[in-house]
Amino acid sequence: MLCPHGPPGRSGFSGHHGFPGLPGLPGEGAPASHPPGTPSAPGTGTAHRNPWPGNSSALLGLWPGNSSALLGLWPENPPASPSLLADGTAHDPYPLYRVLRERHPLVYDELFGAWLVSRYADVRAALADPRLVAMPPGRTLAHLEGGTHSAHRAVVSPAFRGAALAALTAGVARTAFVLARRLAARQEADLVTEFCQWLPTAAAVAALGLPYEDTARVHEWCRTGLDHLGGHHPEIDAFLRPYIARRRAHPGPDLLSALCTARAGGRPLSDEVVAGLAGSLLGAGGEATARGLASFLANLLDHPGQLAVVRVRPALAAGAWAESLRRDPPLHVVLRRALEPVGAIPVGATVACLVGSAGRDPARFADPDRYDAFRTDPGQLAHGSGRHFCPGALLARLTAEHGLRALLTVLPDLRWVPGFRPTSQGLISRSPRSLPVRLR
């Protein structure tokens, strides 16, 4: 999930080689706190029994048009449900996801402190429900210029078209080839620490026309409060303001200039909006995009036949990326807070949308555990669902497509180190921690 509209988790996706000064990405964070307004769970188990004895009629009207998936699922004495914090879940969450989808599609997890939603239709509905909102810190893009979602779309979406999109694409493509060429003389490399962790941030910095030497500093800001929604970070604001003033006076071919000259509703974007958009894009160059890129490369390298087809037909890379996000999203758990009661979910409660479970729901996808780069309908949950426009999803897609193209062009013999198979780790955020490859 690259556009969760909530705080990403942490799972030790760290370490670096070849680029001095690049900080490692953060480690696994603490579970969600017990939400205000959530009833205490009875008993001493890891999660309380389902609160609707006899039937699930309390769920009617939860999400109009989607609640049928939740009906008739609980017997008179339902068993205690498992917890996301059960032993072994971070190593392999898929058995738990299966149990949740089949027996507990909506249940309160006492240890994790949230209501769990696990089926594709219900996760998609929850992510789009205006009563369930993200919990980002400080200012976000949705709060800019009035704070309404319609204003948000009107300001953000047009700003990333035309010249701005061209500048962003050029910055990503140029950076991907620079990083790939730095590996060309090597025999082996770790794509996580030497490519995936660097490309998203460096690409955003390059596209905005900011100094390359500030890439490591921007990456550190991403770890300490800046996120893909433009969460307020005083240092990034102070960093961007002089560049915004210069671009207003003397626009150039970069993305920041395009934002400074863009208009919404017949007037230029304010400095606050430009800073928020630029900060959002820089935040999108952080952990989630790096993780998604690592899983994408792992899936294709693990399926050399599919990789060979994508190599000769580059237009298929977009579908291969979408399929990787379905099967192996970088964010498995996306948190929401209930602004008002939603069926049995009380106001103030935390809802955990299990994107990692939804993407492997057999009720939605045939053979859901298989990676198929040519799947015709891989879904859209990893890009968010509903009313949000996310610059992070755009940057992530461009990073994946141009990153893969650069690697295959510069390193045509790219393959696994003999004996290696990728394994993912993490509960909230999940991806391979290393991808050792032979380069020639």
Decide: pTM greater than 0.85: no
Distance CA 287, CA 175 (A): 18
Distance CA 326, CA 406 (A): 23
pLDDT of residue 283: 76
Sign of the dihedral through C-alpha 320, 321, 326, 329: positive
Q: What are the pLDDT digits (tens) for 165-191?
A: 888 899 899 999 999 999 999 999 999
Q: What are the pLDDT digits (tens) for 387-402?
A: 455 667 888 999 999 9
Mean pLDDT for all residues in the chain: 78
pLDDT of residue 156: 54
Helices (H), 285-370: 287-301, 304-312, 317-327, 355-358
Give yes or no for residue 308 having a pLDDT over 90. Answer: yes
Copy the structure tokens of residue 138.
């400080």
pLDDT of residue 437: 98
Assign 12 a pLDDT band (cuts: 50, 70, 90).
Answer: very low
- List % helix, strand, coil for the chain (3-state, nearest 5): 45, 10, 45
Distance CA 348, CA 29 (A): 21
pLDDT of residue 233: 62
Q: What are the pLDDT digits (tens) for 242-293?
A: 999 999 999 998 889 988 988 877 888 889 888 888 887 887 767 888 999 9
pLDDT of residue 160: 67
Orientation of helix 199-208 relative to helix 215-223, angle to 10°: 120
Q: What are the pLDDT digits (tens) for 311-359?
A: 999 999 999 999 999 999 999 999 999 999 998 999 999 999 999 999 9
pLDDT of residue 363: 97
By the 8 A CB rule, do 12 and 432 touch? no
- The answer for residues whose C-beta is within 8 angstroms of residue 64's C-beta and 6 or more apart is none
Instruction: List the single range of 84-93, 109-118, 146-155, 236-245 with lowest mean pLDDT.
Output: 146-155
Copy the structure tokens of residue 273.
């909006």
